[in-house]
């Protein structure tokens, strides 16, 4: 991670984590365990950091954005709790998923509690636009996930459909994080829009890199088994590109097996190997770069502050991250 | 149903349903089916009706409360979608559950979309207290459900614990429905509190009667198999009362089997029969009556309007309903 981000995180992470802990401690003890579990798994706290940075870069006073920022982490954690059940994932960031330890029902409900807690924190600002934007983001996130599920093993999925899905399931929450930060800073509409665009393009780039990493990261780095998307039938850019470059008969054969979930372990390993050999994960990163460029363009509308520099470094970090 | 309620519903139900349909139609088509399914199942639309009635009884203009009222139905429907998964219920109001038809993941996410849609509707009022109260209600509803699950087959459950659970899982949303209606009417704090109390006590009574009905309603009336709570290991007032009146050795034996889910079909049928013979469902209704009385007391703080009369009739309806 870039030094400038690490330094900023060094200041902010303890305060973010303390706030998350305080709010979690106030919850009824019966719903706390899965919530503590998902928060303790760590993660990058990228969304709350973005809210803090956008708010301060655009003139918000020191701690004004902290509850708002943390509400973004609660929303994100809620989606993780629900996702774990959707994916039937046994691992999350290398640790056992909450629903394996605490039960499926408890985990769904803990997610609901987090969604509501986030809303309550946001309501505290007395600015209905924040609730509006975050509600919209949650709706779009869930809709993106439904579309992703609906398109599992759908080899007809186009690049555009794929982009629509990842924008939904990932980018809108990044967008909301940045836009809400701008709103409580009280900046001009044009700058709010710039924050919105910065978050949106950063979010798309983030997910593209995530999808690239799925094909390159060994399990001990990413916390997920390598090639998980291929095994789960998720079409992402590397796999779409792989199918597209096959000669027609071979393509038809493999797509057919993929659709029916009939690829052997050997075929799966071969595809994973070829995707790497063809440099398709790297090409996916290149696609991410074009979104990072657009995010950087949006950032030019921000006044020149130390926070803008951190936001700029985050673009490089998201593009180059290895896990 | 009392004539006065039926008349009011006759006016309001088409408008509530039209609003619910309009908002649902605006959602992405990929998330719509489970939502349309749960809304089409009907239900009493009791929560939105309460919001409309409280708002109008306390001076809100005609349609001011409609989006707020419908957000209550969306919140309730979200909890139904998530509950269906929790219960592993195959039937809901006599129809197949959404998750059986549309899949578990799609149903969880559709619930999340509804939670967010409700929040967005409420944010439209520009009154953060509404978001605050509804977020709190969702947190308490989910917490109550977690506690209920944690206490399945717990024969130590006291009457107080049971009341705490049903207040959480059911009554807070009724309370929020009424309190929010009062808030947008802009009435004095004392009357807001009365609306709050009316909803709370009505909600407790509603769930008590629900728990009584579980032991008396044949499946074709309630849409659920009779004695479902006993079979699922849920301790409610009739069963708590049943165990309490057994002589110690017999009590220990049956509680032990119940805890371990070892009751035979014959023993289950016998218990169901004895619970009816001992009039325990009727006693549970009597317990509901004391809460209805408290709700009626709160209602005296409302000005004398036709809506107050309907709210009063709803108390009788909730107490006497057979399904």
d(C-alpha B149, C-alpha B91), whole Å: 19
Higher pLDDT, B227 or B166: B166
Cβ neighbors of A131 (< 8 A, separation 6 or more) are A119, A122, A123, B119, B120, B122, B123, B128, B131
As beta bridge partners, residue A96 has A91
Instruction: Measure the CA dihedral B245/B250/B253/B256, to 10°.
Output: 0
What is the average per-residue pLDDT within A134-140? Answer: 95
What is the pLDDT, as a whole number, of residue A242? 97
What is the pLDDT, as a whole number, of residue A13? 93
Question: Which of B82, B123, B132 has the CB atom closest to A108's CB atom?
Answer: B82
What is the pLDDT, as a whole number, of residue B239? 97
Q: Nearest CA to B233 among B149, B152, B146?
A: B152
Question: Which of A27, A30, A120 has the CB atom closest to B150's CB atom?
Answer: A30
- A49 secondary structure, DSSP code: H
d(C-alpha B295, C-alpha A105), whole Å: 32
Residues of chain A with pLDDT > 70, as a percent, come to: 94
With CA atoms as reference, the chain B residue closest to A133 would be: B120
Interior angle at CA A203, CA A197 and CA A209, nearest 5: 140
DSSP-derived secondary structure for B220-278: HHHSS-TTHHHHHT---HHHHHHHHHS-HHHHHHHHHHHHTT---HHHHHHHHHHHHHT
Give the number of beta-carbon pairs within 8 Å between A and B: 158
Q: How far is residue A93 from each of residues A17, A40, A220, measured CA to CA in Å?
A: 18, 11, 9
Q: Which residues of B touch A129 (CB under 8 A)?
A: 123
Contact A120 B139 (CB under 8 A): yes
- B158 secondary structure, DSSP code: -
Average pLDDT, chain B: 92
The alpha carbon of residue A214 is apart from the nearest alpha carbon of chain B, in Å, by 22
What is the average per-residue pLDDT within A105-130? Answer: 94
At A28, phi and psi to the nearest 5?
-60, 140
DSSP-derived secondary structure for A270-322: HHHHHHHHTTHHHHHHHHHHHHHHHHHHHHTTS-S-HHHHHHHHHHHHHHH--
Q: Is B91 helix (H, G, I), strand (E, B) or coil?
A: strand
Q: What is the pLDDT of residues B277-318, one digit of tens each?
A: 999 999 999 999 999 999 999 999 999 999 999 999 999 999
Tokens of A49: 């950091």
Q: Which residues of A touch B23 (CB under 8 A)?
A: none
Contact B103 A149 (CB under 8 A): yes
Contact B120 A135 (CB under 8 A): yes
Q: What is the pLDDT of residues A223-273, one digit of tens each?
A: 555 788 999 999 999 999 999 999 999 999 999 999 999 999 999 999 999
Tokens of B263: 């009751």
Query: Do β-strands A91-92 and A95-96 pair in parallel, antiparallel, or remain unpaired?
Result: antiparallel
Q: What is the pLDDT of residues B54-79, one digit of tens each?
A: 999 999 987 899 999 999 999 999 99
> What residues 99-158 of chain A have any CB closer than 8 A to a CB of chain B?
103-106, 108-113, 115-117, 119-120, 122-129, 131-132, 134-136, 138-139, 141-143, 145-147, 149-150
d(C-alpha A252, C-alpha A150), whole Å: 21
Q: What is the pLDDT of residues A61-94, one digit of tens each?
A: 878 999 999 999 999 999 999 987 766 556 655 6
At A231, phi and psi to the nearest 5?
-65, -35
Mutate one of A81, A142, A150, A234 to test the B interface: name it (highest B CB count within 10 A): A142
Contact B109 A27 (CB under 8 A): no
Q: What is the pLDDT of residues B80-133, one digit of tens each?
A: 999 877 665 566 556 677 888 888 889 999 999 999 999 999 999 999 999 999
- B98 secondary structure, DSSP code: H
d(C-alpha A166, C-alpha A211), whole Å: 10
The alpha carbon of residue A220 is apart from the nearest alpha carbon of chain B, in Å, by 27
Question: H-helix or E-strand containing A116?
Answer: helix A104-123
**Which range has the worst mean pLDDT, A9-23, A57-71, B197-211, B217-231?**
B217-231
DSSP-derived secondary structure for B16-56: HHHHHHHHHHTS-TTTHHHHHHHHHT----HHHHHHHHHHH
Contact B135 A117 (CB under 8 A): yes
- A89 secondary structure, DSSP code: -
Q: Which residues of B touch A136 (CB under 8 A)?
A: 116, 120
The alpha carbon of residue B275 is apart from the nearest alpha carbon of chain A, in Å, by 29
What is the pLDDT, as a whole number, of residue B177? 98
Whether the Cβ atoms of residue A54 and residue A177 lie closer than 8 Å to each other? yes
Q: Is A46 helix (H, G, I), strand (E, B) or coil?
A: helix
Q: Which residues of B touch A111 (CB under 8 A)?
A: 112
With CA atoms as reference, the chain B residue closest to A114 would be: B139
Using the predicted structure, report yes or no on whether residue B221 has a pLDDT greater than 70.
no
Burial zone of B164 (CB within 10 Å; 0-12 exposed, 13-18 middle, 19+ buried) = middle
Q: What is the pLDDT of residues B134-171, one digit of tens each?
A: 999 999 999 999 999 999 999 999 999 999 999 999 99
Q: Which residues of A touch B71 (CB under 8 A)?
A: none
Could you tell me which CATH class the domain B3-320 is placed in?
Answer: mainly alpha
What is the average per-residue pLDDT within B27-46? Answer: 92
Mutate one of B29, B111, B127, B142 to test the A interface: name it (highest A CB count within 10 A): B142
Q: Which residues of A touch B33 (CB under 8 A)?
A: none
As beta bridge partners, residue A92 has A95
Q: Which residues of A touch B122 (CB under 8 A)?
A: 131
d(C-alpha A118, C-alpha B176), whole Å: 18
Whether the Cβ atoms of residue A5 and residue A317 lie closer than 8 Å to each other? yes
**End-to-end alpha-carbon separation of chain B, Å?**
11
Whether the Cβ atoms of residue A71 and residue B115 lie closer than 8 Å to each other? no
Partner B contacted by A30 (CB < 8 A) = yes
Residues of chain B with pLDDT > 70, as a percent, come to: 94
> What residues 73-102 of chain B have any CB closer than 8 A to a CB of chain A?
78-79, 82, 85-86
As beta bridge partners, residue B91 has B96
Contact A27 B139 (CB under 8 A): yes
With CA atoms as reference, the chain A residue closest to B131 would be: A123
Contact B116 A123 (CB under 8 A): no
What is the average per-residue pLDDT within A209-223? Answer: 76
Look up the ipTM and state it: 0.91
d(C-alpha A302, C-alpha A295), whole Å: 12
Q: What is the pLDDT of residues B254-265, one digit of tens each?
A: 999 999 999 999
As beta bridge partners, residue B96 has B91
Can you tell me which residue has the tokens 């940045």? A178
Q: How far is residue B127 from each of residues A129, A252, B63, B114, measured CA to CA in Å?
A: 11, 57, 17, 20
Mutate one of A129, A130, A135 to test the B interface: name it (highest B CB count within 10 A): A135
Interior angle at CA B75, CA A140 and CA B152, nearest 5: 115
Contact B120 A139 (CB under 8 A): yes
Query: Residue by residue, what is the 3-state secondary structure of A223-280?
Result: CCCCCHHHHHCCCCHHHHHHHHHCCHHHHHHHHHHHHCCCCCHHHHHHHHHHHHHCCH
Q: Which residues of B touch A134 (CB under 8 A)?
A: 119
Question: Which of B106, B135, B143 has the CB atom closest to A119's CB atom?
Answer: B135
Query: Do β-strands B95-96 and A95-96 pair in parallel, antiparallel, or remain unpaired?
Result: unpaired
**Which range has the worst mean pLDDT, A19-33, B30-44, B86-100?**
B86-100
What is the pLDDT, as a whole number, of residue A98? 80
Partner B contacted by A36 (CB < 8 A) = no
**End-to-end alpha-carbon separation of chain A, Å?**
11
Mutate one of B67, B112, B150 to test the A interface: name it (highest A CB count within 10 A): B112
| Dihedral angle sign, alpha carbons of residues B90, B94, B99, B102 | positive
| Dihedral angle sign, alpha carbons of residues B133, B138, B139, B143 | positive
d(C-alpha A240, C-alpha A222), whole Å: 22
d(C-alpha B152, C-alpha B118), whole Å: 30
């Amino acid at each position: 991670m870039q030094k400038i981000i690490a330094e900023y995180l060094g200041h902010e992470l303890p305060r973010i984590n303390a706030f998350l802990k305080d709010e979690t401690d106030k919850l009824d003890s019966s719903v706390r365990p899965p919530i503590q579990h998902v928060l303790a798994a760590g993660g990058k706290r990228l969304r709350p950091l973005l809210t803090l940075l956008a708010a301060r870069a655009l003139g918000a006073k020191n701690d004004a954005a902290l509850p708002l920022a943390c509400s973004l982490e609660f929303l994100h954690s809620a989606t993780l709790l629900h996702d774990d059940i959707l994916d039937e994932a046994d691992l999350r960031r290398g640790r056992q998923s909450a629903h394996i330890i605490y039960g499926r029902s408890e985990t769904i409900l803990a997610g609901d509690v987090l969604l509501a807690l986030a809303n309550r924190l946001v309501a505290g600002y007395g600015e209905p636009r924040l609730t509006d934007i975050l509600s919209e983001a949650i709706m779009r996130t869930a809709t993106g996930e439904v579309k992703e599920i609906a398109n599992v093993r759908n080899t007809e999925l186009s690049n555009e459909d794929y982009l629509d899905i990842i924008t939904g399931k990932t980018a809108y929450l990044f967008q909301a994080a940045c836009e809400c930060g701008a709103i409580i800073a009280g900046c001009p509409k044009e700058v709010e829009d710039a924050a919105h665009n910065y978050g949106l393009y950063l979010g798309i780039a983030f997910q593209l890199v995530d999808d690239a990493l799925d094909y390159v990261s060994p399990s001990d780095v990413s916390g997920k088994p390598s090639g998980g998307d291929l095994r789960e039938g998720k079409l992402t850019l590397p796999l779409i590109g792989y199918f597209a470059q096959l000669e027609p008969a071979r393509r038809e054969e493999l797509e057919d097996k993929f659709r029916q979930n009939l690829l052997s372990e050997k075929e799966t390993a071969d595809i994973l190997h070829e995707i790497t050999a063809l440099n398709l994960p790297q090409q996916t990163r290149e696609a991410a770069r074009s979104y990072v460029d657009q995010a950087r363009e949006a950032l030019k509308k921000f006044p020149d502050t130390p926070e803008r520099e951190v936001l700029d470094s985050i673009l490089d970090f998201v593009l180059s991250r290895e896990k």
